[in-house]
Structure 1
Amino acid sequence: MEVLKKFKPFNAEFPLERQLGISAAPIVLINIFTVGSPDDEAGFLEAFISAGKTLTKQPGFISTQLHRAIGDSPIFLNYVVWESTETLREAFSLPEFVAKVSAYPPSVSATPHLFQKFAVPGLCTA
């Protein structure tokens, strides 16, 4: 999958490509973006919005939220809910999406990982 070459693994022993091969539903994609140069923040946001608009139109997309680190930290966290790994895999395969991710400025790195809700008795439900 071409788009996966643009991402750094959060866990090198279990990269996103391997995670996408597991059938799971629903899933949460957490993507940590690091903007290496303050001059690239506007370009990052422009490319993020463009790529995001493509994904929000895809089957299986549920919701997304971008967070910015406080202070001068150049870190952004994107939280995206998908119906399944299959729907995310299809969306990531779209040539239009791949082209838009390629527009991230060179100093931007993306580190994605997939998660599912996990029940902890007395604290949270799955």
Structure 2
Amino acid sequence: MEVLKKFKPLDDKFPFERQLGISAAPIVLINIFTVGSTDEAGFLDAFKAAGETLKKQPGFISTQLHRAIGDSPTFLNYVVWESTETLRDAFAHPEFVAKVSAYPSSVVATPHLFQKVAVPGFCTA
């Protein structure tokens, strides 16, 4: 998948591409973006354009973008998907691939997939 070449793994031993091969549902995609200090506006424009294509895809549930406090040009995106299969299909969609190519060259995306964990008396699954 061409778009995956733009990603930096969070865990070198279990990179994002390998995670996409596991059938799981529902999932949470956490994506940490580091952005050059002069590219923040361009990143936000490209992020919005890419996100508009994703939210139209089957399996998309919700998303939220967070910015690091202070002078750190680091962003965290939290996206809920119905399954790894629906995310994989959305990331392969030609319109999304085209939008991702418009990210400023300083942007580094570090995605990783997660599932909720139940911790008795504290967190529900």
TM-score, normalization by structure 1: 0.98
- What is the CA-CA distance between 1:39 and the residue it aligns to? 1.3
Count residues with an aligned counterpart. 125
Report % sequence identity: 84
1:23-38 map, 5 Å = 23-36=23-36, 38=37
Give the aligned partner of residue 89 of structure 1.
88
Give the aligned partner of residue 21 of structure 1.
21
Structure 1, gaps ≥5 residues long? none
CA distance in structure 2 between the partners assigned to 1:76 and 1:18 by the alignment = 23
Structure 2, gaps ≥5 residues long? none
1:35-74 map, 5 Å = 35-36=35-36, 38-74=37-73
TM-score, normalization by structure 2: 0.98
SS at match of 1:90: helix
Give the aligned partner of residue 11 of structure 2.
11
CA distance in structure 2 between the partners assigned to 1:74 and 1:84 by the alignment = 30
1:42-89 Cα shifts (integer Å, max 9, x gaps): 100000000000000000000000000001011100000000000000
The RMSD of aligned alpha carbons is 0.5
SS at match of 1:39: coil
CA distance in structure 2 between the partners assigned to 1:73 and 1:121 by the alignment = 35
